[in-house]
Structure 1
Amino acid sequence: MTDDEELPAAALIGRRLLKVAAAWHHHADDESSLVRLWLHLGGLGPVLFHTPSTGLSLRADQPHGPYSTGTHGSVSVIDDSPVVPVTRFVGQPIRSVREIAYDDGRVGFTAGLTLQFPDGSVRMLGLEDVLLVSHEQHLGAVEAYLHEDVTIARVVQTCGSCPSQWDAWTTTGQYLYLRYRHGEGTVEQHPSEDIDTWDDKESRLWTFWDDGTADGRIELADFLAMAGLRLAPDTEVHTASPISRKA
């Protein structure tokens, strides 16, 4: 990977977080705001998270300083600090990367990402040239316009074990392929359940984890908990004829 190489979000999945570096803009009133964040990931190197105006941009990039934002700023490397919430996950792999959408009825765009780790998750948002990183939903009025597609409205189990697998649809109609075999769980996004529609344009990996077992069976509730997904109160759950799409 070379510097300035644009990265798809799915490239982060399964990578272990090794170190964090941050660029802070120091204002005249002595307050500081986060403007850039580098996650050092195993096998990938440092990945820069920044906001061009709205949303996030990810690219291969080495931390550098001094970093200018019009007045002055600095870069500090943090291995274990509460200053940036993501540092609490140093040493853990990224299990899942999901998009966060913004829609206020007039404007809609992808505002950021949720990174899920074994011990929790962190949100990264780019809003109005400001990079926001948080654990909880406490961003005020903007929360009403943020949406993450994690609620399942319909599930069809297509195989009970070796692998355990399901076709699932979110409340927005997005199709997901859920699969667990040899202790590995995956969630894949595809245009539909028809494998002929699976391609590199609209298909991508959402989630991957390895629980260290050789198991080939898992209950749906346990799978969803590991994947950071949830069932809607009126979710339809069906069992279809056993079908295994992949060996």
Structure 2
Amino acid sequence: MEKTDIDLEEKVTAKYKKWILNYISYVFFVDPTSKPGERVYSSAGVTFINTGERKFAVTNERVIEEYIRIFNTDERIKFHLGPFVIDIENRIIDANSNYDLATFEVKTYEVNRLNSQFCYIKHWDPKRIEKGEYIVFAGYAEILHKKIKSNSVYLDSTVFMEEVQSVDEMGFKFSLNDANYRNYLSYRKNSELTKREGFSGAGVFCINQNESILLLEPVGIIYKGMDDGQTQKARHIDFINKYGEIDYACN
């Protein structure tokens, strides 16, 4: 899909904002002994996928690895999917630190309670995005995180449409447009707008036109923001097979 002007971008993001947000939520863990206002240990976006063979969630491996490491020293620390505590160690389907991807079991009723839904792809054969194509992604900018109490957090979400700048065998890069970011978060202080963290784990989607219908198709998972504060790096989602396994034969 080509983007010709800012009006198109605004229409697309407005049209698909609610749709994309249906497919994502967030995971996090906190120190239950911490005082209100103290930091969350770690958080990331999570994307819900239904391949027709299996339903699962995708996030960054490093968040789960960090949780397990800390949990082994303090079992009071709980892992949250949205507001719900889950036993993540017994939910893991697959995880790989080289790809920074992890998949885990999630129940339909849990997704429903999050007011979310699975992104259903009847025939799981994700396309690989190409340079110059436009993607839509949603995430939880860190400056919108708000600690509610010692064991919970509120994460607000944002949706953007950007152009893919480069692609390789491992993934692709795109920039977070500064003007769009500042416009969307115009109510924040200028000093806060330099913070671009918090998009890791978020699903990245392309928009495909099937006859007269526009469809969202997952193409990647964000795993890293760059030092320039704008460039985001995403892993190709086709490293994950239809069973939720990180399948090296897929690449």
TM class by smaller structure: under 0.3
**TM-score with structure 1 length normalisation?**
0.25
- The structure carrying a bigger strand percent of its residues is 1
Q: Which of structures 1 and 2 has the bigger CA Rg?
A: 1
Query: TM-score scaled to structure 2, two decimals?
Result: 0.24
